[in-house]
Each structure stands twice: as C-alpha cells, then as structure tokens.
Copies of this chain bind each other. A is one copy, B any other.
Amino acid sequence: MSIRNSLLALLSAAPAHGYGLKSIFEAGTAGAWPLNVGQVYTTLSRLERDGMVEPVEDSDDDRRAWRITDDGRVALAAWYEVPVDHRSTRDELVIKVLVAVAAGDVDVAKVIQTQRVATMERLQQYTRHKMAADPAVTMPWVMLLDALILRAEAESRWLDRCEERLGMAAASP
C-alpha cells in the first residue's frame, strides 16, 4: 500500500498529473525507489475506482490532472495516524535465517557470514556517501542515508547475536 498511499499524500498537497507524481515521488525519496510510470497510472485508476481521487477537468490541457477527494483525505489521515508495525511485515532476512535453522540441513553460519559481508560493505558505502555529502545535501537524501545506516548496524548486530546463540546451542545439547 506504500505507493498507493504515497500518491494520495502527494496529491493532498496539490493536484498533479501522473508523470509529475512519478517525479515528485522519486525526488522525495532521494531516487532510492524508482517508480515505473505505468504503475502510477494503474494505481491512480484503482484510487479512482475506490473514490480516493478524481480527475480535474481542464480543457486547456491534454494532460490528465488528479485531485484527492474527501474520502481520500480520510484514508490518508489513517495512514499517518496508524503507526507502522514490523511484526506484521515479513522480514526476508529474519525468515531466511529462521527457516534455515528450522530446515536443519543448511549451513546457517555460512548464510549469516555471507549476509554480514554484504551488510558491512554497504554500511561503508553509506558512510562514505554521508561524508562526501556537503551540508548542502538534500534533506531526503540524508534522512534516507541515516535510515539505511541504522538499519544496517542493527542487522549486523543481529547477525552477531544469531551466531553466538547458534554456537552456544551447538556446544550444549
């Protein structure tokens, strides 16, 4: 629902047309998540179907502009008010490790090691980016980097802890 709600959010500030929404979304998320234009149009159709947006008629323009409806604003407010809950989001790394343990026939230590190497490499990349970035750097870009760094650090710590726990379990039956 992230894209759906994002479009709604961007339209709440001002009406816009499909292509514009793509640009605003990508700029606002620092280009981290490229958005296929086609998806914007399909998502807008679905939002219209659900009464969340409506076309703005303007005979002088062959582009189709969209406006958020009152129902749309209600849905948007709900998105902002209800906190994100990670328990309900399946985390692929956690699943991968837990399932590897459950399966029993997998070299979990190797999986953890592979992941950690990648995570640490990325962590260095992010840090380098942040250093290189002058204070004049854009807001979304820094905020995104912060998020990636903190997440990578947490992940690295989790991997360490998993290794410990699995080592202990292997030592004592």
Contact = CB atoms under 8 A, between A and B. Distances in A.
Mostly, the A contact residues are helix
A114 B168 CA distance: 39
A100 interface: yes
A92 to B, nearest CB: 5
A101 to B, nearest CB: 6
B98 A144 contact: yes
B146 A162 contact: yes
A93 B24 CA distance: 18
Contact of A29 (B98, B153, B154, B169): B98
B151 A12 contact: no
A6 B97 CA distance: 10
Nearest to A156: B150
A83 B25 contact: no
Copies of the protein in its oligomer: 2
A106 B9 contact: yes
B158 A103 contact: no
Chain A interface residue bracket vs B:
35 or more
Interface string A82-111: 011111011111111111111111100011
Contacts of A154: 150-151, 153-154
Contact of A148 (B86, B114, B115, B143): B86
15 contacts: A2-B95, A6-B95, A10-B102, A25-B102, A29-B94, A33-B95, A80-B106, A80-B110, A85-B118, A89-B92, A98-B144, A101-B143, A143-B165, A153-B154, A154-B154
